[in-house]
């Protein structure tokens, strides 16, 4: 509350001094204000290291969602890595089963037998 009262007093003091400013100076101040606002709008995000050595972004008001976009991109990348990792594991397991079946001493006709497939289904359901 004290800060609001202080800001209100400063604003009143500055408003009282407006009448004492000559019109030429007023126009120059207005031009300087517009120039400063134009330069502020052109500010781009900057990558800054904080005191703890952590990188952070300083964003302009025109890029308010950069952190959310980066979070979604990181989430999608993590999901892609997870799916890739699980697919590699699945293929590796299939390779192991195929290698075990092909290195066995069964004749090739045994693989065409329907009873063999039933035996494989029964054997895999026990595990």
Query: In a 3-state reduction of DSSP, which class is residue 19?
Result: helix
Q: What percent of the chain has pLDDT over 90?
A: 17
Confidence of residue 36 (pLDDT cuts 50, 70, 90): confident
Cβ contacts of 81-89, under 8 Å, gap ≥ 24:
none
pLDDT at 4: 86
The CA distance from 85 to 82, in Å, is 5
What average pLDDT does range 110-123 have in this prediction?
74
pLDDT surpasses 60 at 11: yes
pLDDT surpasses 60 at 58: no
Model confidence pLDDT, tens digit, residues 66-99: 888 899 999 999 999 999 999 999 999 888 888 8
pLDDT at 101: 75
The CA distance from 47 to 108, in Å, is 64
């Amino acid at each position: 509350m004290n800060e609001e009262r202080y800001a209100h007093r400063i604003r009143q003091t500055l408003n009282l001094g407006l009448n004492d400013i000559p019109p030429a100076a007023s126009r120059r101040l207005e031009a300087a204000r517009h120039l400063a606002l134009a330069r502020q709008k052109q500010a781009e995000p900057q990558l800054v290291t904080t005191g703890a050595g952590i990188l952070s972004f300083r964003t302009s008001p025109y890029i308010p969602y950069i952190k959310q976009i980066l979070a979604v991109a990181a989430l999608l990348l993590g999901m892609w890595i997870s799916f890739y990792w699980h697919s590699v594991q699945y293929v590796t397991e299939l390779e192991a089963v195929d290698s075990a079946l092909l290195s066995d001493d069964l004749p090739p006709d045994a693989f065409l037998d329907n009873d063999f497939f039933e035996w494989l289904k029964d054997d895999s359901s026990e595990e």
